């Protein structure tokens, strides 16, 4: 968001420069009504872009498409409005300032659209997009690791009985080993989750 904030500041600065250019036109005795109209258009442009910027933090998978459509339409309308304002002006400094503003508005609009699209792909929250996929995989890993830990714990008595039978291969130790193995097998069969270890 730091880069985006810088882009907003830069956009506002360019708009201010455009307004300064209008003052030069005013000194050349251009029609006051035209100057006032263009100034109001630029002020409304800044307000509208700031409103769009403030909405970025509340976007989600359900709202981002509508936001992009609204933002794109708004940007396009202001580009057309700047074109019409340029046609009203005769002072070259003011015309150049509005021309630069138009270019910057296009770049700013592309940056916002790209930011929203990439943020949606990465994830607006910790459970959406790539973030959500990673979170889900993490939960699956925890589940599998927990199951494996339980298997290890349940298998310890079997290993102990096996060791006793290996060192003292008599019928009693054999029977104890088989009983613990059967108990372990039945226990794991009940606990095994609905996935296969790879």
**Contacting residues for 55 by C-beta, under 8 A, at least 6 apart:** 67
What is the rounded CA–CA span in Å between residue 14 and residue 144?
56
Q: What is the pLDDT at residue 76?
A: 95
| pLDDT at residue number 31 | 72
Say if CB 34 and CB 88 are below 8 A apart. yes
Q: What are phi and psi of 196, to 5 degrees?
A: -110, 130
pLDDT of residue 196: 46
Identify whether the C-beta of residue 42 lies closer than 8 Å to the C-beta of residue 18. Answer: yes
SS3 170: coil
pLDDT at 198: 43
CA dihedral angle for residue 122, residue 132, residue 56, residue 63, rounded to 10 degrees: 110
Reported as type and span, the H/E element at residue 167 is helix 129-167
Residue ranges, the chain, pLDDT below 70 = 1-30, 191-198
The predicted structure's pLDDT at residue 12: 62
Other CB atoms within 10 Å distance of the CB of residue 10 = 13
**pLDDT in the model for residue 102:** 94
d(CA 97, CA 104): 11
Return the CATH architecture of domain 2-124.
Up-down Bundle (1.20)
- Residue 56: the pLDDT is 92
Which sequence spans correspond to the domains of the chain?
A: 2-124, 130-191
What confidence score (pLDDT) does residue 54 get? Answer: 92
The total of other beta-carbon atoms located within 10 Å of residue 160's CB is 13
Provide the pLDDT for residue 113. 95
């Amino acid at each position: 968001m730091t880069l985006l904030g810088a882009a907003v500041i830069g956009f506002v600065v360019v708009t201010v420069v455009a307004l300064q250019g209008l003052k030069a036109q005013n000194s050349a005795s251009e029609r006051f009504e035209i100057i006032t109209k263009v100034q109001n258009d630029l002020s409304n442009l800044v307000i509208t872009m700031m409103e769009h910027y403030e909405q970025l933090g509340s976007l989600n998978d359900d709202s981002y498409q509508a936001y992009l459509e609204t933002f794109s339409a708004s940007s396009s309308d202001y580009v057309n409005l700047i074109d019409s304002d340029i046609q009203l002006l005769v002072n070259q400094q003011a015309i150049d300032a509005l021309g630069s503003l138009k270019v910057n508005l296009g770049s700013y609009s592309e940056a916002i659209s790209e930011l929203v699209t990439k943020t949606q792909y990465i994830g607006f929250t910790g459970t959406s997009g790539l973030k959500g996929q990673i979170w889900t995989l993490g939960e699956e890993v925890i589940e599998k690791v927990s199951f494996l830990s339980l298997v290890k714990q349940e298998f310890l008595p079997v290993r102990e009985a096996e060791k006793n039978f290996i060192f003292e291969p008599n019928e009693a130790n054999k029977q104890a080993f088989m009983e613990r193995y059967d108990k372990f097998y039945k226990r794991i069969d009940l606990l095994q989750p609905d996935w296969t270890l790879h």
